[in-house]
Structure 1
């Protein structure tokens, strides 16, 4: 059940940060299996034509709703983006609050949600999807899947359907901000645990559990990245490495200056350099 995956009182631990006047992040603690601290982050973006895009929704607290009102005004939420088939448990909560929002998701998510058969009260299997991204297109990755004129005007989109989690990566064009979920982590999740009592944490220095330490070693962007690169090479891209590389080339062609990941720290310095370091093995094998 999703209740085991979210904080009991999300409003008490949510960290809200205005990254730019048009981009705000909502960060929360999140751990896999109760031991691996990866954090969670939602990104809200003010669209140039009005309204807000919400990427990877987290709990809709009163403070989160206030951010929507500040950024989107009366237009509210224009788009809800499920960034992959794992980040989706709060979609219904947001759709209930903003029923005119358009839901964008990877192929397979609707079926995954339907399979819960109402067992999870957070998931409304009747939620309507506005755009479902297509798998295994014959078109080159550089030809994006169009969503709608207002969306296409503000965002670039690359859909890594070959990734195990089926990743939807966005570029907010007006401010050159890359927004992604599980394509690339940047652990440890410092900001996302900022308001958590250290005594309740498993991953604090001095008494971090072994699994947590190992995972943070793999999912980082600093130091020796051999394990991060092995993960990307042998796990993330193994199903279709050539097409994965093609997607990376498209992302690399974007003029992003900031990377907002769902897990770990936002990268505001040398973002393109960090991206290329993590995927160095892939770029070295692109012909």
Structure 2
């Protein structure tokens, strides 16, 4: 969009007019041209009469006059001393025009609106007073914005509503006229612009007499000539440069890797309680907990050994003494064996971490380390000495460095007989006891034989409770309310005495078993379950133990030694897909929602949410295979409706 300035600088030299390329179409009179040339040509006689001095004087005068008028003409374009009030007026006007242009873009884009034109005209008026480069910059910015808006308006009129921008009838009429004026030979060259102008003025031909024949080929050539950007190339370059024989590549098929959904762990949402839990899992807190656990283990083991030895009628031999002390994790120097206390039989990394924590406690003097009669390291609860006291007693600090690799870790587990199901105090807890066969008895004996707790997980899993109680009369029964009354109705299961620990609804969340049991287990009584479920969480191994809260069918592990298939039988084939824990586990969700929790869904939800706060990774169900890893994700998948507080169909 061009704009002509109001002030034009007069040229010093006269520029002769350019000859028109179309002058043959406009005849001129030769006499007139000669007359003009005669008037413009000065007289040769007058030039001769001019004297040299006069010519010099005139030239000097003209130069001085031009030098005097030059500053005046320059100030028409640039004036550094321009009035500030005038500059402010011009700048304000240009900014107002720019603001109006930006605010009224949608109105100016409408067909028939002349806002852009009026804006340019007002800018032209203000431009007459522009004498500074900064003011010219504002004007140029306005001009660019107006030009850009004009381009967009033109594109909108062309591509948008055709009735508002382009007259279709006029366009079709011009196309028809163009095709009717085409030459007979359609292969002729497309006419140039000059030929178009000549053809636009026919002599006296009437287009209507030419008939209805339209040369579409002529129109197509004219339309495609300007848009064809393909370069002309020789014919031999149109084919491939070389011919290669294509060989088919054999695709290598690989077996698709299937991810076991039972091992998937869903992401855990962090809440305020979780942040508080992180505060309690720092180094200082962990070391303090380990120190307290060592003191309890040492005191409990020593008390148990003294009680068992005092119960003997005769003086115990050295072998009996060592056996009793080994069963209760007590060394002959009164301490706790280092490796029995630190080794985790299911995690090599956890074992190394436990030794790491113990080393800090030994360094701070909170735990003492010594050697028993067999040369094995033992741990003792101690109190740190003050620096002055340690100096008087001559206490010195020593360092012991040893390595622990995976093979040594396995050898220590086998040599010490460390088992995860055995409590730190040496007691054995049995959950939902199975048939007490000879093989089961031998397994219990290998664990020390000190069965102290037998737990019936609900009202259904209690069939073999009588046989276990007779074999281990000192064991304490843990059961939900109503089970003892149910067993009294059957002579085969009638118990001589009430159970020691009975979980009741009104005491939910407050009941305790014993100090040693509660130190390793968390208990949740799901009283809203149809079978009144007891769920236990073994904290050292991060294992969840339950009976009928969650199913993981088919039970391949339980059928592995029977010679039968875990999926054989019509009823099994029907039930197994319905009670599988594999995601999305829709049928098991419905079973838990409509069947197990139907009596008290609110209480069931509260219990599930308390269980979800436990940090378990392994799950042992009574029905189905053990979930060795990722149990938290499986639990959240099955109990999704209770954890999200809404039911999905």
* TM-score bracket for this pair, using the shorter chain length: 0.7 to 0.9
Q: Classify the secondary structure of the residue corresponding to 1:230.
A: helix
Alignment of 1:110 with 2:484, yes or no, is yes
Equivalent position of 2:426 in the other structure: 50
Q: Classify the secondary structure of the residue corresponding to 2:558.
A: helix
The structural deviation recorded for 1:174 is 1.2
Equivalent position of 1:227 in the other structure: 587
Q: Give the Cα–Cα distance (whole angstroms) in 1 for the partners of residues 510 and 471 of structure 2.
A: 30
Equivalent position of 1:63 in the other structure: 439
Q: Larger Cα Rg: Structure 1 or Structure 2?
A: 2
Q: Classify the secondary structure of the residue corresponding to 1:157.
A: strand
Q: 1:202 to 1:169 in 2, by over 3 A?
A: closer
Equivalent position of 2:235 in the other structure: none
Equivalences for 1:260-275 in 2 at 5 Å?
260-275=620-635
Q: Classify the secondary structure of the residue corresponding to 2:610.
A: helix
Q: Give the Cα–Cα distance (whole angstroms) in 1 for the partners of residues 497 and 632 of structure 2.
A: 36
Q: Classify the secondary structure of the residue corresponding to 1:83.
A: coil
Q: 1:222 to 1:144 in 2, by over 3 A?
A: farther
Q: Give the Cα–Cα distance (whole angstroms) in 1 for the partners of residues 605 and 584 of structure 2.
A: 22
Q: Give the Cα–Cα distance (whole angstroms) in 1 for the partners of residues 576 and 599 of structure 2.
A: 24
Q: Give the Cα–Cα distance (whole angstroms) in 1 for the partners of residues 629 and 520 of structure 2.
A: 23
Equivalences for 1:35-184 in 2 at 5 Å?
45-71=421-447, 73=448, 76-116=450-490, 118=491, 120=492, 123-135=493-505, 137=506, 143-184=509-550
- The CA RMSD over aligned residues, in Å, is 1.9
Q: Classify the secondary structure of the residue corresponding to 1:46.
A: coil
CA contact (8 A) 1:92 1:127 kept: no
The structural deviation recorded for 1:124 is 3.8
Q: Classify the secondary structure of the residue corresponding to 1:175.
A: coil
Structure 2 unaligned blocks of 5 or more: 1-343, 347-419
The structural deviation recorded for 1:62 is 1.6
Q: Classify the secondary structure of the residue corresponding to 2:540.
A: helix
Equivalent position of 2:618 in the other structure: 258
The structural deviation recorded for 1:163 is 0.5
Structure 1 unaligned blocks of 5 or more: 1-19, 23-43
RCO greater where, 1 or 2, for CA within 8 Å and sep 6 or more? Answer: 1
Alignment deviations for residues 194-238 of structure 1 (CA, whole Å, 9 cap, x no partner): 11133xx6842xxx30x3222212211114411110011111111
Alignment of 1:189 with 2:555, yes or no, is yes
Q: Classify the secondary structure of the residue corresponding to 1:94.
A: helix
Q: Classify the secondary structure of the residue corresponding to 2:425.
A: coil
CA contact (8 A) 1:79 1:103 kept: yes
Q: Give the Cα–Cα distance (whole angstroms) in 2 for the partners of residues 180 and 173 of structure 1.
A: 14
Question: Number of aligned pairs?
Answer: 230
Q: 1:144 to 1:68 in 2, by over 3 A?
A: farther
Q: Give the Cα–Cα distance (whole angstroms) in 1 for the partners of residues 541 and 497 of structure 2.
A: 31
CA contact (8 A) 2:567 2:576 kept: no
More helix by share: 2
CA contact (8 A) 1:85 1:108 kept: yes
Q: Give the Cα–Cα distance (whole angstroms) in 2 for the partners of residues 78 and 21 of structure 1.
A: 21
Alignment of 1:214 with 2:584, yes or no, is no
Equivalent position of 1:277 in the other structure: 637
Q: Classify the secondary structure of the residue corresponding to 1:99.
A: coil
Q: What's the TM-score once normalised by structure 1's chain length? A: 0.75
Equivalent position of 2:119 in the other structure: none
The structural deviation recorded for 1:127 is 4.6
Q: Give the Cα–Cα distance (whole angstroms) in 1 for the partners of residues 625 and 643 of structure 2.
A: 23
Q: Classify the secondary structure of the residue corresponding to 2:587.
A: helix
More strand by share: 1
Q: What's the TM-score once normalised by structure 2's chain length? A: 0.34
Q: Give the Cα–Cα distance (whole angstroms) in 2 for the partners of residues 124 and 95 of structure 1.
A: 12
CA contact (8 A) 2:554 2:567 kept: no
CA contact (8 A) 2:559 2:566 kept: no
Alignment deviations for residues 125-183 of structure 1 (CA, whole Å, 9 cap, x no partner): 32541111112x2x6x6x34211212111110001111011100000111111000000
Alignment deviations for residues 31-79 of structure 1 (CA, whole Å, 9 cap, x no partner): xxxxxxxxxxxxx9311122100000001112211221222x15x1010
